[in-house]
Structure 1
Amino acid sequence: MPKITFLPNEDICPEGKTVEAKEGESILEVALRNDIEIDHACEMSCACSTCHCVVRQGFDSLEESDEQEDDMLDKAWGVEPQSRLSCQARVSKADLVVDIPRYTLNHAKEDH
């Protein structure tokens, strides 16, 4: 079973956390299941950029992003070459190391 290591984020996951994932799950689904509350304003429909993350290790194991995801990433804060929307990036067999940026462009944060 692949593992995802979420690097420390002062607000969301201060200590960092390594969790098990299932192939085919999105990074966001894994995070939420493990009480890592990544913002996701559009209910995982690829209509915003609030769940932006940076995949520090294992990026090449993910399927390529599609045009819609790329368009949404253009609106995210602090995009890097290994950026993905965590609602769209699906886990494969490889372990991942994920960095959750400190800031998002979520103007209407909701409790989920």
Structure 2
Amino acid sequence: MCGSATHTVSNILKNSRQGRLKPSNTNQTTFIKEKTTMPKITVLPHAVLCPEGAVIENAPEGQTVLDVLLDHDIEVDHACEKSCACTTCHVIIRKGFDSMEEPTELEEDLLDQAWGLEADSRLSCQAVVADEDLVVEIPKYTINHAREDH
């Protein structure tokens, strides 16, 4: 079946090149919006995790902010292993907050326990990169009782 479909497509292309097929409406133009760039994540300086700050170009849409940061060697705490059961991956989205999906009720309940909670706070394991650039601040402190070096 695939072979016959390929043959049909090649016949259509051949007939089109020979002038046998004409567009039905020559005044109709279709524009397809093509996205040329992926979102960028700017990470503000953090004394321990990212002293110089960072700019992550081409952050994949649909991936969590935490996964993007970890993929770029920014070792944000995530004591619950990204299961939305703690607040150690708390971040503040300084720009691009509205481009992301709304937090779930569970995430909002957990955020109430986060150190340094702000209106634009998110758990980075739940915040999914959308189509806008983000500016992310990692709070100075975290509530991670499992970590011994703080």
TM-score normalised by the chain length of structure 2: 0.72
Give, in whole Å, the separation in 2 of the partners of 1:63 and 1:18: 22
| 2:101 aligns with one of 47, 63, 84 | 63
Of 41, 46, 50, the residue aligned with 1:4 is 41
Structure with a larger share of its residues in strand = 1
SS of corresponding position for 1:107 = coil
User: CA–CA distance in 1 between the matches of 2:96 and 2:147?
Assistant: 29
5+ long unaligned stretches in structure 1: none
Matched to 2:62, the amino acid is G
- The corresponding residue for 2:112 is 74
Q: CA deviation at 1:42?
A: 0.3
Identity of aligned residues (%): 63
Q: Identify unmatched segments of 5+ residues in structure 2.
A: 1-37
Supply the distance in 2 between the matched residues of 1:80 and 1:99 (Cα, whole angstroms). Answer: 11
* 1:3 to partner: Cα distance: 0.7
- Corresponding letter in the other structure for 1:49: T
**Match of residue 126, structure 2, among 69, 73, 88:** 88
Aligned length, in residue pairs = 110
Deviation at 1:81, TM superposition (A): 0.1
Structure 2 counterpart of 1:15? 52
Q: Which amino acid aligns with 2:67?
A: E
Higher helix share: 2
Q: Deviation digits for residues 38-90 of structure 1, max 9, x if unmatched?
A: 00000000000000000000000010000010011011001000000000000
Per-residue CA deviation, residues 9-35 of structure 1 (Å, 9 max, x unaligned), is 000000000103100000000000000
Moved over 2 A (4+): none
Shift of 1:109: 2.0
Structure of higher RCO (CA pairs closer than 8 Å, 6+ residues apart):
1
Match of 1:50, as an amino acid? T
Q: 2:145 aligns with which of 87, 107, 110?
A: 107
Measured after TM superposition, the shift of residue 36 of structure 1 is 0.2
